[in-house]
Structure 1
Amino acid sequence: MSQTKKAADVVLQGVTKRYGAVTAVKPLNLHIKAGNLVTLLGPSGCGKTTLLRMIAGLERVTEGRLLIGGRDVTDMSAGERNVSMVFQSYALFPHMSVRENVAYGLISGGVARREALEKAEGALATVGLKGFGDRLPSEMSGGQQQRVAVARALVLEPDVLLFDEPLSNLDARLRRSMREEIRALQQRLGLTVVYVTHDQSEALAVSDQIVVMRNAEIAQAGSPRELYEAPENVFVATFMGEANHVKGVLRDASPGEGMVQLGDLAIRLPHKGLSEGEVDVVIRPEAIMLTEAGAGGVLTGTVATATYMGAHAEYNLDTQVGRLFAIAPEATRLRRPGEQVGVRLADHGVFAVRAG
């Protein structure tokens, strides 16, 4: 099976969803470029799944317009939009063979059974399941069932492929391999994919763009690197991976950077339009480097807990600015609880941000 049609972009213009007095998705604008994999990321209840279901046509848009491939689909039914969704529960028919499961949507849409089954075989080959068509879903592993669900969506040759928490039913190792397979498949076929998850590492691994949502609106959108290395606020910074949140004082602020006082330590940090005075500072655990206590240009800290993790060590440190969680790549010498250390900060992974 090959994807011959041109990928479609998805444009949301002031899209809103209300249930009575409750606003599930506040008015938002979003452009998902054709051929990109865009992840909607956020905690439960933030509106990401509702947004996905509006793109799918499973929820009606209360206000705004939704375009797919330049076509206004706002008032079209799910069947008219030419999109396919892979659900969290694979929803395979247990009494049908794998081949019949994949062909079901085509047959329901009026495609001749023989042609549908031939296309199903092609879709199974695309997801690495050639020769598995005669099996029942119960004879497949969880990862294989997930691939069947993807094949069932692909065989319809959708303009946009939607994933709703597709890996949540798999164990950690299988999740890692499946996300790599989904990303490779998306890139090979040039598909436009909208992917919903609450797993930050999953979003970082598969996405061209991540849209972080909170309280029914977009908190920040950007590439995985932009969101991790240049978050705009405390929520995005702490949601995108491990992060320490402390308070500092910004002085000598100039456009783009300023001097921030953290206890006895003064460091120059990038910022986005902050005013001088107290600011929120986010420190990634890997940006904390331990040195000997009493050295110049460091914070003084006390080791509260030390954990050997094999390839690295993890520490909780009590400092002037509060408790800091640190990851040290060298685990050969494990520092002891109660030991005094110097805390030096790297020139990356430390940023002054807006509150919230």
Structure 2
Amino acid sequence: METTATAIKIEKIKTSKISQVDFDNLAFGSVFTDHMLVCDYKNGAWQTPEIMPYQAISLEPSAKIFHYGQSIFEGMKAYKDDHGDAFLFRPSDNHRRLNISANRMCIPEIPKAYFMDGLKELINLDKDWIPQKDGSSLYIRPFIFASGKGFHASPADEYKFLICLAPSGAYFSGKVKVLIEETYSRSANGGVGFAKTGGNYAGQFFPTQLAVKEGYNQVIWTDDNTHENIEEAGAMNIFIRINDTLITAPTSDRILDGITRKSILEIAQAEGIRTEVRKITVPEVVEAAKNGSLKEMFGAGTAAVVSPIAAFGYRGTDYDLPELTDSYASRFKKIITDIQYNRSEDPFGWRQKV
């Protein structure tokens, strides 16, 4: 057992399983590296983090995660450049957002040193797992859940913080067709829509599967009250381009403050692209589609970075979007991924070497 300068205990795996992995055919988030980080919260404090071989964990049936859903997570990636150096993208923003989610779900905040130092130590240990194929990366999943026991409906007294790593290929491929949702809601005012908590995503699965049965890939979420304001696309923030103006909904307690979303808005400002952060209604988008001023719609998030939308459905009618040779979506994706893979300068200071 080793200990780092920040008191992280390290137990290395005896035999790596990396030779069993086909790095040319990686599904997203289904293959896991040799090690994981685990840190327990008990007796009112976070204990010493440990890096250990990736393995199953044991929980009692009375663990509160199973009963009251206290769980939060983040999504991040590590990238490797042509020289074999590893990089993270805006990791401090992920730590900050994890603790925002923690506060909303009544989970103790994780100290930044535990998060950042533990993450970097883990990535350095499993650095060989970072794929170098274009579009591939090492997906990083930090998460916290209630491990304390009891059936009483109250916050747990013990928690587990883990970081697991998964070498992954591209998240989406092909054209995405979405359905504007008018019956189900992803979140509501005063709720937990802004937090990355498991229940937000579990609640999306059923309406999404209904849309899939109708021939769509995903749903566009609208507000819970009128179902007229466009808010998110699946598990991603959404951008809509009308003529040359890029529009996205403002963040709120219903909408996740996406890191890719923030990056796109900063890039657009630097590139001189007009942006509007405001409510955008379904009738406005439908009318733009009809009169030809709707140029693009795309989702933005860590997993896919940018996911162009080829068509959307609304009340029995499908609307195709034009195929552009120089789209904002492709432009933003190239700028962001060039920064992530260390293929270009980083004027924003987002890239962080591991």
> TM-score, normalised to structure 2's length?
0.23
**Higher strand proportion, which one?**
1
Larger radius of gyration: 1
- Tell me which of the two structures has the higher relative contact order, counting C-alpha pairs closer than 8 angstroms and 6 or more residues apart: 2
